[in-house]
Chain A
Amino acid sequence: MDYILEAVMQAFRLLSSGDAETFSAVWATICVSTMSVVLTLLVGVPLGFFLGYADFPGKRPVRTLVDTLLSIPTVLIGLLVYALLTRRGPLGGLGLLFTLPGIAIGQTILGLPIVVAMTATGVEALDKRLNPTLLTLGAGPRQILMTTLWETRFSLGLAAMAAYGRIVSEVGISMMVGGNIKWHTRTITTAIALETGKGEFALGIALGLILMLLAFAVNLATVGLRKRVKR
């Protein structure tokens, strides 16, 4: 039990003393998760819109596939992306192994099914009369896309938060693709894994608390965003 009390104190010590190693891991985490979330949304929202809006043969199986991919294990993604990025792999020439953008590729694959599935569901759940109404009002394809997405903004926000939550908390991809290199690709989660491996349990819990603080700050920011959107 004394681990936990010690950990809370240690978390505050690390933050207040400006511990360089901790802040390096915090910065790497913010950096890589932001890259991943932006990439995930850029790719996932159009795909999800298409999947929810369009009718095409084989739509059901594709939905089922996307829903299945929701449970893809992070270690598997880590292994696959490692196989792609290793210098002897097909994308080895890019030199992305052991870098933050390399981790971001894996985390984007992790976040995509969430954003695609939730965007598609959001679009499907819209009032069926929205589309004919837009058409009779003479909206072009671009306007239809933008208006429909605007109407689904709350599901989009939820999708982004869910994807962010999965991305910021994963350890398999960051460990395998990033390599947990000190000062470079050590994120909070890989640092927790390392400290646990060293038997520094209190430090591991302290880092976990710092990750929760970070997630809390991001959620607060989105609450603010939501208030502004609602008005």
Chain B
Amino acid sequence: MPRFVQIAIVCLLVVGSTVAPAKGQPVIMATTTSTDNTGLLDVLAPAFKKDTGIELRWVAVGTGKALKMGENCDVDVLFVHAPDAETAFLVKGFGLDRRPVMTNDFVIIGPAADPAGAKGRLAGRALKAIAQAGAVFVSRGDLSGTHQKELSLWRMADMAVPDKAPWYVQTGQGMIKTILVAEERGGYALTDRGTYIKYAAARRAGSHVLKVLVEGDPNMLNHYSVIAVNPRRCPSVNHQAAVRFADWVTSAAVQELIGSFKLLGKPLFVPAAR
């Protein structure tokens, strides 16, 4: 048993030394799973550390939860993609100085046979066609940025969200799991392109693999922004570092870095800072 106590003491010392500010407090960021899962942050964090000496730590959750963490003053800065929810966040005074960083796009994927005839349509019409055909549509159902985009597309199609329709499947899980459910059920899904690229690369070929059917609709753009948590409401946040990060990620050099980032050989993000 003394061995356990020794380990515990060593742990406490190690943890204590990392909690204590070792030259420049780290900046803590809440972000969406897509920035983390694509590996973009693994490229940005070391570059940020090199340029400013500040360590970037992040918690990757759905945008809804990320905004909640900002509201609760648990993080210094947000890097999220749900413009409507972000505007509400700013209006309530929870955050300051929202700046666009980059875009990528959403796509609607589905079985190659395309039973609902969604291919090539605009996003809203494609959803309508799926609903009319009663084809399976698999939704995230978790208020993530992707789910919020889907909700706005239903509005655009002048349709109520088919919450209880038998063909409308809500997983409440992450993007890749949702795509896999769609594949198992031979259904359609809305996904960000990054997750689709990873999915398609991992599945190799086969008739069951879902294909991109709807893309290029301007309504399917996915806008990522950076928001500093309001220091007047949350005095404990590391606001200086948050602003440093916002300035840095929207600077010309870093925008170029984001534009040249490739996932499995395919470019993914388009710089959008003004």
Contact = CB atoms under 8 A, between A and B. Distances in A.
A89 to B, nearest CB: 8
Contacts of A18: none
B5 to A, nearest CB: 6
A35 B58 contact: no
B177 A197 contact: yes
B177 A35 contact: no
Interface string B55-92: 00111100000000000111000000000000000000
Q: Which of A32, A182, A196 has the most CB of B within 10 A?
A: A182
Contact of A197 (B11, B12, B174): B174
B205 interface: no
Interface in B130-179: 174-177
Interface stretch (B13-21, B101-109, B114-122): B13-21
A38 interface: yes
B176 A98 contact: no
B112 interface: no
Interface in A182-197: 182-184, 194, 196-197
Contacts of B4: 34, 37-38
A98 B74 CA distance: 9
A197 B28 CA distance: 22
A129 interface: no
Given A101-B12, A197-B174, A86 B60 contact: no
B37 interface: yes
Contacts of B12: 35, 101
A101 B199 contact: no
Contact of A34 (B7, B28, B58, B175): B7
B33 interface: yes
Interface of B is mostly: helix
Q: Which of B36, B74, B198, B202 has the most CB of A within 10 A?
A: B74
Interface in A60-107: 86-89, 92, 95, 97-101
Given A87-B234, A88-B73, A95-B19, A199 B202 contact: yes
A88 B57 CA distance: 20
Interface string A14-53: 0000000000000000111011011000000000000000
Nearest to B57: A181
A130 B92 CA distance: 66
Interface residues of A, number: 31
A119 interface: no
A165 interface: no
Interface in A92-144: 92, 95, 97-101
A155 interface: no
Contacts of A101: 12, 15
Contacts of A98: 28, 57, 59, 74
Contact of A31 (B11, B176, B198): B11
A101 B73 CA distance: 19
Contacts of B73: 86-88, 92
Nearest first, the 3 A-B pairs at minimum CB distance are: A179-B59, A199-B176, A31-B11
Interface of A: 30-32, 34-35, 37-38, 86-89, 92, 95, 97-101, 179-184, 194, 196-199, 221, 225
30 contacts: A30-B11, A31-B14, A34-B4, A34-B8, A35-B11, A38-B4, A87-B73, A87-B234, A87-B236, A95-B19, A95-B236, A98-B57, A98-B74, A99-B15, A100-B11, A180-B60, A181-B58, A182-B57, A182-B58, A183-B57, A184-B18, A194-B36, A197-B176, A197-B177, A198-B37, A198-B176, A199-B176, A199-B202, A221-B3, A225-B1
Given A87-B73, A92-B73, A100-B15, 4 more contacts: A35-B12, A87-B234, A180-B59, A199-B202
